[in-house]
Every structure is written in structure tokens, then in C-alpha cells.
Structure 1
Amino acid sequence: MVLVAILLTWIVLGAAFYWLSSAREVITGLSATQVPNLAQTTRLSAKTADLAMLSNRILSDNAEASEALETMLKASVAELGEFVSEGFDSAITRQDAEALQHQLALVIRSVDQVEQLDMRLLEMIDQLRWLNADVQDETAAVMADFAFNIEVLTRQMIDETRPEIRRDMASTLAEELRLQTTFSNIGNDTATATTLAIQISNSQSIAQLQQFENLVADALARVNASIEELPAKAEYLFLRQASETLARMTTHPSGVVQDRKSWHEARKNLGTQIETVLTLLTRMQGQLLTQAEAQRTEILSISDGFSRSAAVTMRLLLGMTILAATGGLAILFSYIRPSIIRPMESLTSAMRQIAEGGRPKLDGLPVRNDEIAQLASAVTAFKNSVIERDQAIRDLRQTQNELVQVGKMAALGNLSAGIGHELNQPLGAIRHRLRLLQTASAKGDSGRQTMQIGKIDDLVTRMERIISHLRKFARRSEYLREAVPLVRTLQSAQELLHAQIADHQITVVIDPELEDAVVVGDAILIEQVLVNLLSNSCDAIAATEMAGTITIRKEQGKKGMLAFSVVDTGIGLGDLAPERAFDPFVTTKDPGRGLGLGLSISFNIITGMNGTLSLGARADVGTRATLTLPHEGAMHET
């Protein structure tokens, strides 16, 4: 029955493949011949329109951003050249294509020539501006000297009484006034010539250029006439050289006027060449349109035949598909459903129950030696392995809790000397207060007796608080999920290490931004981690034999997480890699000072509370331990 279903399916597929192969040949023929030829016409029309639009914008009298437009024109010409170099069918002759490529090369050459002339004009205008600035500075300085001399001579003439001396002074004063006027004319005419040269560099027509050229020539003639009136002195040599340079950069054959004329001529040639390109493109487009019309008629004929053939084939395939589907349904309901589907549903249900923690019974399956029986055996084995895995996880969790408790006891053992010191101090004070109480009692001083009893009560309360804190710290924890004020937990851990911190002159600084921080986790376990990290920092600072600082600062954390670091100024990690510090029994302390389990236990505790713990060396000195824990807002969202 299965073979019959397969045979029917292959018959349908064979007929479908045969029809698809015929359709592919038709479509391949269309895509390989007719469609590319039609696409040629469309591409050529689009490129012709782009080239014509850019050409009109460039050649217009008020073209804006001509440099950018010329760059766009060059790109369009290059694309059109690539299109032409790809070759054409018989509709366009190779001679027309080569003529178009030659004309496109001329267009690009003309565009480059215009760009070069624009750059040269810009450079010369900059030089003219600097030359004008130098001339203005020179004439301004000389005119200031003349003004000073005129003012001095005028005052002297007012005070002089002798007629012959006054006549000499008047003659000198007239000469000074004449020279001052001459220098003023030189400065004004130089500025005028420079301004006209700038206008020439931006002229949009030959007539406008010639008008500005005549005005520049007049300004240069006035500058030269004014310079001829100057005395032959060395200090006026710069002005004579500036006049020659100004003439060379404006009216001479290598000046702005001639370059702008060349620019207009190049633009004219560019327009002529573009018109030639557009004429060639129009002729090619007409040839392609003629060919496209013939191809369109052929495509319509092929499409009609393909449609009729497809309709017949689709009806045949539909009948064969219905026949194959009927046979397949018969096989499905008579054999596959009772023999395969129902046993697979039972096995799937059993797998789902195993995944949800249930213990299903695999009864009612057919007894036979096939793949279903093997799968049933595998599901049974999987159920047994899941039971064993759950028991192993419970044992592992119990071992982890025991290891955390061992870590607490180890931390209390390391802190025993400091804790004993914390208890011995109030005990000694109580003994002293009892003696004072006896003395006050002997003297009958009730006021002192009351005072000493109050002091003793305070000391007893302090000892009770220390012992209560130790009991709470030593209590087993089950990874509770509660809101824990971070600063209060830090202060509790700091109290346990009070003696160690005081003995080594360590300063603990808590970031004010952590004042109101509340994290989510188990308060006892978080305190255990903080005690371990602060204790490691104290040992690292003690190894330096100098006073140090432990800073608890807030860091930038991810959304929903609070990050903070414990940073110390101790001896650091040395050659130990930060990631290796979390391995069990790895430590940088001297033998007998630690087992190397503290950081490993702390890492597992923080990971169990959905947080992270990382370690790194500081850039200068010491170590930085960074913790991230869910903050109170994340608990509310959950």
C-alpha cells in the first residue's frame, strides 16, 4: 500500500516536472532574448533623459552648484559609456556604438577641462585677494606717515613768522598732500581692479566679460599712472612690483581674463558635444523601439500558446493529484493511523508527562519488534534517567547548601580573633564598672550606683547585639527572594570585620548613590558574600603594611540590575588571572591563611540569586570586585 502511494506521488511529480521543464524553456527564452532587448530600450531612455536634464542645468545661465552638477554629469556619462560598451543586438550597429563612445569620451574631457579652469580661476582669485590686502596695508601705512607729516608741518607754519620759511613749508606741505592723494588713488584703483577681476571670474557671458575687461584695463591704467608720479625710492619698489603682478594676473595672456574666455569656449564645446551625444542617443533609441515592437508581438504569441498549454496541464495535474490523495488517505486510515500514529501519540504524551515531572505508565502499546517498540524502550529508559537526574540535582543542591554553610563557618573562624576582641572589650569594661559599682555601694552613693548599672546594661546590650548578629550570620539560608537594603547589609558586614579594619587602619567609603539602593535576594547570603570580599580586601591591604582604603561605589548596570564594586588599595592579584580566582582552592594568600574557597562560594551564591560577580585588577594598584543583583523594581515587575 505504501509502494502504491509512492508510485502515485512519483507519477504526479513526474508530470509536474515535465510541465515545469517546458515552462522553464519558454521563460528562459524570453529572459535570454526578448526581455534584455526591451530592457535596453528602457535603460537607454532613462540615461538619455538624465543626461539631457544635467546638460540643460549645467549649460543654463543661472546654473547653481556647477561643480556638483558637472560631477553628476561625469558619472552619468561614465554609466552610459559602460552601457554602450556592453554591446547591442542587431538593432544598433557597432559603428553607432563606437561613435557614441567616442563622443562620450569628448564630453568627459571637456568636463575635466572646465573643472581645471575653475580650479585655476579660484587659485588666481585667492592670490589677487592677498595681493590687494598687501597693497592696502602698504598704502595705509604710507598715508598714515603723510598724515602725520602734514599735521606737523601745519602746526609749524602756524608758529613760524618768517615769510621765506613759511613759503618753503607751504611747498613741502603741497608735495605731501599730492603724494598722499596719489597713494589713496593707488589703493582705491587696486581694490577696484581686484573686484573687477573677481566679477570676471564669475561672468556668465562673453559680453559681460568684455565689459569687465575694459573696466579692469582702465583701473590698471590709473594705477600705473599714479605709480609713475611717485619718486624713485626703494620703499616704493613693492608697489611697482604689485602693479606688474596685478596686470599679469588680470589682462595678460595667462591672467583671469584669458582663463575665463577659455572657460566660456570650453563650455560652448561641451554644449555642442552633449547635443551630438543626444542626437546619437535619439537615433539609437528609435532603432531599439522598432526592434522592441517586433519583439513585443513575438512575446504575445508565445504567451498565448503558453497559457493554453498551462490550462490543459493544470487540469491533468489536478485529476492526478485527487487520485493520489484518495489513495494516500486510504493508506493513512487503514494502516498508518492504528499502527503508527496512535502509538506515537501515547509515547508523546508520556514524554510530556515526564518533562512535567510525572511518572507515566507505558501500557497498551503493540508488542512487536520494530521502531515503535524501540522508541517505547527508549522512553522508558529516559523516564528512569530523569528520575535519577532529579535525585542527583537534589543531592547537588543539598551539597551546595552545605558548602555555603561551611563557607560561613570558615568566615566566622577567620573572624574569630576580631570577634573575640569585640567581646573582650565590653567584658573588660563590665569588670571595671563592677569595681566602680562596689566602691559607690561602699560609700552609699546611689547616684553613682545607678550610673554604673546603666553603663553595665549598655555594655551587655552591645554584647547581645554582636552575638545576635553572629547567630543570624551563621543561620542556614534557602536562597530567599526578598528586598534587602544594600547599605544596611554593608554596615552589618563591616561590623563583623570591625577589629580587622581598625587594626590595619583601613578606611571604608560607601558611595552616597547607594544610600537608598535595595536589591532582591537573600540578606544572609548577600552579607556572607560582602564579608568575604571585604575580608579579602583587608588581607590585601594588610599585606602592603600601610594604611589603605576600601571603596564601595555604584557602577553602570543593565536594565533591572544594580551594579556596584568593592575597590581596595591592596597588593592586587599579582600574576593570577582574574577568572582563575573563582576556581576552588586557588588563592594568593600565604599557606595557612585561606583555602581558596571563599570566592568560589561567593560566585555560586551570586549566580544562584540571578546576579554576576567578576574580578579585575585596577589600573594603578589594588583589586576591583564588581557585583550585579536584581534591584527592587525588578522584583515588582516579576
Structure 2
Amino acid sequence: MKDLRVGIWARLLIAFGAIAGITLLVGVMALLIFEHSSSLVKSITERYIPEIVQVVEFAEIGGEIIAVAPRLLATGDDNARMTIQSDIDKLLVRLNRQIKLMDNATTDFRAEVAKLAGKLKKNLIDLQQMVARRLELQKQLNKMTEGLRWLYADLISEIDPLNQDYAYNLDAELEKLIDAVKRRDQTLSPARLQANRHFKETIEKIRSNGVLLVSLMAQASTSSSLGQINSLAALSNDAIAFLRIDINELSADASLFTLKQVFLEIFLLAEGNQSVFSIKTDIIEGAIKEQATLRKNSVYVNRLRRLIDEIVSKTQEETLEAVTRARKTLERARLLLLAMVSLSLAIAISVLWFYVRGSIVARLAALSRSMGAIAAGDLSYEVPKAGRDEIGQMAVALRVFKDTALNVEEANAQAIIDNAAVGLVIANLDGAIHFFNPMAAALFLTDSEIMVGRSLYSIVVEENRTAFANACDSVLETDMESYVLYTFTGLRSDGSTFPIDLSIRKVHQRKQTSLMITVHDVTEREHAQQLLRKRVREKTEHLSRINLKLRQEIKKRHKTQNVLVQAGKLSALGQLAAGIAHEMNQPLSAIRYYLHNARKLLERGRIEVHEENLQKMGELIERMAKMISHLKTFARWQGDHFALVDVVPVMEQALALVMAKLEKTGVHLVKKYPETPITVKGDAIRLEQVFVNIIGNAIDAVSENPANERDVIIKINASHENVIIGVLDNGPGIDSNNYDAIFDPFFTTKEVGQGLGLGLSISYNIIKGFDGTIVAGKEKGGWTHFFISLPKVIRVAHDSNW
């Protein structure tokens, strides 16, 4: 009789079929239960929730009415007021619409709500009219305040000249009286002096009371208290009474006519029903009425909310009842579903634990461990017997694979080791050789059978055996299986030696750890390395000699460069000598003139004029001292000391040296400087020398033009990284064939005796030493330009030397 085999697939199909059947039953029951619950949810969503939404809408409308009414009080113009009124009308329309939509509300409730809505509307209209009147009064008050400012200005402009006139007359009378006392003339009466003093005091009182009156009116226009307004009005009346008394005392003076007119206009603003005080009182009283109306609005809205709360309570009761019924239905459904799901889960856990884990996973885990051991090289691992199903068939196949791999491994390993192109030596952990391949036997002039059993360390000379043993120990102590390469001296069987590379590696075979040493003969490599070291040593000595000569040459050229720079500065000073002499001659001539006049001034006793001339001479001497100091600094030999340099002052110093040449030639100079300091790294004197050379060349170039066409432009700009200095002239320009040679030493297009041809060459090397560039070219309009580019340096809190 044939055995009936039930495979893993059939068993799992039966188990999961039972689970699927229970799950389907749970789904059908859940569908029936939730179908019954849907009617309750539908009643809640279609009836009660809309009613709750209406209640929320009522509350929102009431809150917006309460919020928008204060905005109407705070508005400052008619457009904003109309916009707020439009918003209020929309809120009332929404309120009426919500009243019509309330199905549960009675007719009396709707009538009461409509009545409250009407009162709200009327109250808001009254509030709008109050705000409109307050705004109109505020405009009138602002206009009066503006007029008051102009009247105050007229008051001051009229009364101050009068006060000055009376003060002048009073001083004049006082001088006359003093003169009469000196002359002992008793015919002059002090009555006129007393009258002028009385007039002056009256004018000052008028000015004080007028300023006080204007100040009181200005305070009233900004006051917010009725009590303070009344106090200010009382003080204003007192000031007006004093002013009228004082003005009447001076009524005979015709010069006071304009001042009287000014005070009449001020009195009109301070007295009567249309005065500043009256209008401000009306504004404050209107604001008080607006606040009362606003409080009425809050009362109406609160009464509306209380009416709506009645409908809210009824809706809440019905909603809670419907929710309670739905919750009980869902609770019963939840318990039934929980029981069915628990049954399904219990069946699934039983299948997984007792069958899948115990019968399938456990056997697969044992088979997996066998596969892992065989894959790791342990071909002696025992493969378990795993039954008669698919897993048992896999175990049989694994045992066949293990036996086959064992045979193939042994055959391939022996073939590879025997035919290796390098010497291979395998020893156990005690250092005893148990394999010596033919290539290794050929290297050491011996036989493989003789070397088996000998000490591993006998293949090197006595001096290297301790180091060899330490290397083997270090390889065995590490967990890594990478090789370590050493160079030793090998010892052949005939006693001869040769250099060898030993690659030491830890290997695992059949659960045994061994040392595998790969042997390479490096006799030719050692010979090549010795030859290479000899040639490197010779080349190094040769390069050292060349470097010494280069350093000497660089030092020599650097010294020559410094001499040329100094010669260029002296040449520039020589070309500017006439202009400098002219600059010196002017202050000397002035000093000579002042000295010539000094004796005459002293003889005439005009000490003050003489002292002024001495001060001017001191300034001229200081000017000459600064110029001489600048020339000494410019001509001094400079080292390689770099610092932070502000470009604009250096350019101004360079222009000071060539100013006489500019004025003599009649050059029109245009300077375009930035407003903020621009800093570069370099030497100020050398940079000034560059500017002098380039500006001097520009002056020489435009000197050939007509007198009214000699223009030079100097521009200084800064980008994010560089500073650009440009010198442009409208001279005849540079020949296109000379652009490549203008920076060469001793190249010049000037006549003999007018230049050495060193200026641009020295300038080029100076700028290059500052890590910058200098280029020459021609603009579209025919202008010649020289542009200098230097790295920009951000100045920190304190300048630091480089």
C-alpha cells in the first residue's frame, strides 16, 4: 500500500483556511451591526449637528456685533465708518437668516429675536450718527488748532520786533540820561525813560499772556477731561482780561494795529459757543453718550444670547439621547466582534506555535545551522535527519553536497599549493612545518620531505629568528585574518643567504588554526633599490647646489629692484623739483612780506594786526614743514614692511606732490572717491610712488593737447574682493604696438632727458609685490586708462602690521 504523504503546503492551507472562514464570519456580522448603527448616525448628522452649527453661528454673530461696535467709535474717517456700518448690516442680515432657519423655535421666540434685532439696528444707527457728529467736530477743532498755530506765529513775529524797538528806545534814553549826568545837565527829565520802560514791561506782559492763552487753547484741544477743560477755560478768560487791559494802555501807539488784529482773531477762538473750549466739551460729551449706547448694545446682545440658550438646551438634550442610543449599539457590536476576533486569534496562535514553530521552523533552524557550518568550511558538521516531507528532502540533498564538497576541496587545495609560483610554508602553532611546497624547496635548495617537521624559524638566519617569532605571535594574537609582510634574510641548506619577503597569515582549516607563510625572493629588488638610492643621493646634491645659486641670484635681483625703486622715486622728485620749488617759494614770499610789515606795524602800535600776521606766518611755516617731511618720507629707502593702507589719503599725498605740475600745465582734474575708507595691504610710500608715476605720465600726455582740452580723471572703486584705482587722460594715447613693452625697464616714448623709462616698470613690480595687477588700455572715447587692482582688506578694530 502506497504511503499517504501530506506536505507542508496542504497543512498550511487547511490551517489558514479555518482562520479565513472565521474572519469572513466576523466581517458579515460587523456589516449587519454597522448597518443598524448607520440610521442613528444619520439622524445625528442630518438633524442635531446642523442645529448645533446654527447655535454656533448665533454665538459668532453676537460676538462680531460686540467686537465691531467699538471699532465704530475708534474710527477716524468717514470711509472707515461706512465700511464698519456695511459690516454691521451684513451681520444683521445673517442674524435674520439664521432665525428663519431654526425649525425648533416657536413664533414667539422668533418675534422676540426680531424685536431685539430691530433695537440693535436702531441703536447702531444712533451710534453712527454720534460718531459722524464727533468726527465733524474733531475736523472743526483740527482746523481751529491749525489756524491757532499760524496766529501764534503772527503773534511772535509782531510782538518781538516791538519788544526790540522798546528795548532800543529804552537803551537810547538811558544813554542820554547818563551823558547828561556826566555833563551835569539837569534840564533832561527821566520821565521819558520811565515811560519807555513802562511800555516795554507792558509789551512783555502782553507777550507772556498771549503765549499763555495759546498754550491753554492747545492743551484744551488735546485734553480728555471735562474738569480739565473747564479749568483751562477759566484760566483763558483771566488771560484775555489781562490782555485787553494791557492792549488798551498802548492803544495810542499806531504800530500796534496789526498786533491788535491778531489778538482779536485769537479771542474769537477762545470765547463763545464756537471756541476751542466749547467744541472740545461737545466732543467729550458726545464720546460719553457713545459709550452709553455701546453698553446698551451689549445688553441687547446678552438678551439675545439668553433666548438662544433655550433652543440650545433643547437641542443638547435630544442630541445626547441620540448619542446614548448609538453608543449602546456600538458597545454591543464591539463586544461581539471582540469575541470573534479573539477566537480567530487563538486559532492563529495555536497554528503558529504548535505547528509552524515546532514542526517547520525548528527543523529549518537545525538545517540552517548545518548549512552555515558547511559554508564556513566545517565539512565534518553532522546534518540532522528531518522527516519525510520537503524539509527532509532538503536535508538529504545537503548531506550529498557536503560529501561532494569535501572531496573537491581536498583535490583542489593540493593542486593549487603544488603549482603555486611562490614558496608556501604551513606550520602549526608550535612552529613545526607540516607542509613545504616545491617552489619553497627550490628557493632554499632542499626537498619538501626533509623540511616537514623542522622548525619554521630555521628558514631565516640566526639574527632574524627572534623578530620572525615575534611577527608570528603578533599575527596569532590579532582577530583579523589579513597578512603581514616582513623582509628578512633567508638561509639556504648550503649555508648561503639571500633577501626574502615573508607574508605571514593566520588560516583556519577543519577547525584548526595554522600559520601560512608566503616566501618571495627579492634579491633583484634589493639591488635595484640600492642603485636608486645612490642616484637619488647624487641628484639631491646637484639640486642643492642649484638652489643655493638661485637663492643668491634672487637676493641679488631683489637688491637691484630696491635700487631701481629708489632711483625711480628720486627721478620723480627731480621731475617735480620745479613745482616743489614753486610751492616753497609762495609761503617764503608771504613770510618775507609779513616780516617787512612787522616793523611798521610795531612802530604804529598795531599789535593785534602784527599778532595775526605772526599766526599766518606760523601756518605757512607749518605748511612748509609738512611738505618737507613728506618729501623726506617719499625719498627715504623703504624696506619690505607691509601694513594696512587707506588708498584715498595716499592718492591725496601723491596729488600734493604733482599739484604744482598740474597747475602749471593747466590740467582739469576730476576725482571720484568713495565715501568710506578703502584699505589694502602694502606700503604707503611705494603705493604713493606708483600713483606719482602714473599721474605724472597722464599730465605729460595731456600737455600736448590744447589748453582747454587737458583732462585727467582719477577713480577709486571697491568690489567685494578687490580695490580698483583708475587714472584716465584724454591725451594722444599709447601706440598699439607699444602695449606689450610699456612695462619693460628703460622703455620710453619721451624725448631724451624727459624720462628714464623706469617709472612704469617700477610701478608694475611694486603692484605685483602687493599681489595686485596693473594694466593699460584705451577707452571707447579715445581716452587712455591705467587700472590698478589690489586685494581688498577689511579693517579690524586696530591696524595690524603684516
TM range (shorter): 0.3 to 0.5
Larger Rg: 2
As a proportion of its length, which structure holds more helix?
A: 1
Q: Which has the higher contact order (CA 8 A, sep 6+)?
A: 1
With normalisation by structure 2, the TM-score equals 0.37
